[in-house]
Structure 1
Amino acid sequence: MTQALAFPVPNPLGNIDQYVQAVNRYPLLTEEQEHDLALRLKNDNDLDAARQLVLSHLRLVVSIARNYLGYGLPHADLIQEGNIGLMKAVKRFDPDRGVRLVSFAIHWIKAEIHEYIVRNWRLVKIATTKAQRKLFFNLRSLRGEGSSLSPEDVQGIAGKLGVKPEEVVEMETRFAGGEVAIDRGSDEDDERMAPIDWLADDSAEPVEVLATAQAERLADEGLKGALASLDERSRNIVARRWLVEDNPATLHELAAEYGVSAERIRQIEAKAMQKMRLALSA
């Protein structure tokens, strides 16, 4: 049996750049080393072998996650979701199939990242079927840079991806639509009209002011009550993930802080959010 390379136990890191530098220092495995480690995991449930297989492929997750930065989600969270996919791949990897782990893991890493993006990206409302998700993740590459789709292009993409032409048009509109500033910038001409100048301001009406203040008070009290129903750890996880404006904590950071896996942190978070929803609806 070939002696596997030594992998140090990873330490908690301060930021994403340090993390990327750290994972790039983990050595790559030869095919023989990878096969031996996978056999140890499969036959003996050797967790140290699983750890070495995961650590040697963390750079792959970083590389794949970088391709999804255009969706506006935190790079650290994309990497963390990809790492979960990598762990699933390692668990299911069969060394007797004659393929390298890297080829097998790519599918699981991308699948986990795709699920995370679809759950969190606010514009994805039509991506509910497998075909529509395929459209969402492939349209940018199929349409080309800076080009608009002709009717023939729409028909061709719809046929290739198995969706309706109108779904292609709708998703293309979502991608192509630009944002328009509602207000004038500080350096703009004062005489130039901006969209905000065309909108009526109803917020100064006394009835609206009172209704808004009451709604904010009830929402604040409801949120406090829902948070109070959680245990201290769950409350801290929810607050650090969702109730801070700057630098919300990632699954990876909280996992390191509590000494558990990122998957466990996500389970605690999901259970806490469900409990809060029930408390708010009561």
Structure 2
Amino acid sequence: MTIQSGSATLSLAPANPWTLVPALGNLDAYIAAVNRLPLLTYEQEQSYARQFKEHNDLDAAGRLVLSHLRLVVSIARQYLGYGLPHGDLIQEGNIGLMKAVKRFDPDQGVRLVSYAMHWIKAEIHEYILKNWRMVKVATTKAQRKLFFNLRSMKQGFKADAGATDAATYRDTLSEHEIDAVAAQLHVKREEVIEMETRMSGGDVLLDPAPSDDGEQAFGPIAYLADASHEPTALIESRQRDALATDGIAKALASLDERSRRIVQERWLKVNDDGTGGMTLHDLAAIYGVSAERIRQIEVAAMKKMKQALVKYA
């Protein structure tokens, strides 16, 4: 089958119509190629649609898709302001186009272009919502409407401010503008405020990766994590409690009476005024030895207790 388009003649006869579109890799070449593909007449569109619907003719479905690829490119260009790759937007739009062709009913009396626009935009919208941020900013129908309309409406408010004031126009909406957005989109003003807050914010990694110099970057995980209920911390806390009670008791029991009293008087007793226990000189006076001898006994007792605690742990 041959179709005349101006002075050029393009054949849609190949068994695989997708060969008419160049291989992916060069987006400009792809866009130029799909813009050269001829549009179908109403009669051709109806014929291909019926062949696909009644006989599952995939070649006819391919021709319907090919003739509307330029529509996807045009729609995808409208969403470049979201910072996502144009090629990815076109790819998602093509998926929507294929879904539209699959569900298109030629008996409804409408052109495929009108029917496909909804499916193309729906796929692009879903892609943007999933990839614009790490955390999805819109889930409900009202939130999705706000997401895709709030930015354009804010630009309209900025333009209305005048060329002189536009440069210094604030990014946040005024109370009057919030009410205007809510009334126009038929949503609550609280929802407008919440969506504006979501869109003005950014993604923050809970646990940032180490910097180039090996230092761990500070992140919210440092103050959001509850270390008191972390399993390792709980085990360590129980071990410390056990060592501070049963462990110390067993370690003291391994000492002779004099060494045990010296350790208890020096480290395990607190006076009523909050000060520590007896000094080396106080204990030296009780046992009739020098303060240095008391210190030597204390050091030896501490070593023996440490060995006992290691065995207990």
1:68-107 correspondence runs (5 A): 68-107=79-118
Post-superposition Cα deviations, 1:5-56, rounded to whole Å, max 9, x if no partner, equal 4335233133110110011111001111111111111111111110000000
1-structure distance, mates of 2:92, 2:186:
27
Q: Alpha carbons of 1:51 and 1:155: their partners in 2 closer, same or farther (altered >3 Å)?
A: same
The answer on 1:164 being equivalent to 2:188 is yes
Q: Alpha carbons of 1:126 and 1:176: their partners in 2 closer, same or farther (altered >3 Å)?
A: closer
| 2:39 equivalent in structure 1 | 28
| 2:49 equivalent in structure 1 | 38
State the TM-score, normalizing by the size of structure 2: 0.53
Superposed displacement of residue 174, structure 1: 5.5
Post-superposition Cα deviations, 1:204-255, rounded to whole Å, max 9, x if no partner, equal 999x56xxxxxxxxxxxxxxxxxxxxxxxxxxxxxxxxxxxxxxxxxxxxxx
2-structure distance, mates of 1:204, 1:99:
59
Question: Is the contact made by 2:22 and 2:30 (CA closer than 8 Å) also made in structure 1?
Answer: no
Superposed displacement of residue 151, structure 1: 1.7
Counting aligned pairs with the same residue, the percent is 68
| 1:61 equivalent in structure 2 | 72
Superposed displacement of residue 89, structure 1: 0.1
Superposed displacement of residue 203, structure 1: 7.4
Post-superposition Cα deviations, 1:151-181, rounded to whole Å, max 9, x if no partner, equal 2321232233343323313433555689xxx
1-structure distance, mates of 2:47, 2:157:
45
Question: Is the contact made by 2:178 and 2:189 (CA closer than 8 Å) also made in structure 1?
Answer: yes
Is there any run of 5+ residues in structure 2 with no aligned partner, and where?
4-10, 162-171, 203-209, 217-313
The counterpart of 1:133, out of the listed 117, 122, 144, is 144
Q: Alpha carbons of 1:90 and 1:116: their partners in 2 closer, same or farther (altered >3 Å)?
A: same
Question: Is the contact made by 2:137 and 2:198 (CA closer than 8 Å) also made in structure 1?
Answer: no
| 2:179 equivalent in structure 1 | 155
Letter in 1 for 2:188: K
Secondary structure class of the residue paired with 2:39: coil
Question: Is the contact made by 2:130 and 2:136 (CA closer than 8 Å) also made in structure 1?
Answer: no
Letter in 2 for 1:136: F
Secondary structure class of the residue paired with 1:29: coil
2-structure distance, mates of 1:123, 1:134:
19
2-structure distance, mates of 1:44, 1:80:
27
**Matched length:** 184
Question: Is the contact made by 2:182 and 2:192 (CA closer than 8 Å) also made in structure 1?
Answer: yes
Letter in 2 for 1:89: A
Secondary structure class of the residue paired with 2:31: helix
2-structure distance, mates of 1:49, 1:205:
59
| 1:115 equivalent in structure 2 | 126
1-structure distance, mates of 2:36, 2:211:
56
Is there any run of 5+ residues in structure 1 with no aligned partner, and where?
179-201, 210-282
Question: Is the contact made by 2:97 and 2:120 (CA closer than 8 Å) also made in structure 1?
Answer: yes
Which structure would you say has the larger Rg?
2
Question: Is the contact made by 1:16 and 1:76 (CA closer than 8 Å) also made in structure 2?
Answer: yes
Secondary structure class of the residue paired with 1:28: coil
1-structure distance, mates of 2:37, 2:213:
62
2-structure distance, mates of 1:204, 1:34:
58
Higher relative contact order (CA 8 A, sep 6+): 1
Superposed displacement of residue 142, structure 1: 2.3
2-structure distance, mates of 1:45, 1:205:
61
1-structure distance, mates of 2:82, 2:132:
7
Question: Is the contact made by 2:137 and 2:199 (CA closer than 8 Å) also made in structure 1?
Answer: no
Secondary structure class of the residue paired with 1:105: helix
2-structure distance, mates of 1:171, 1:153:
14
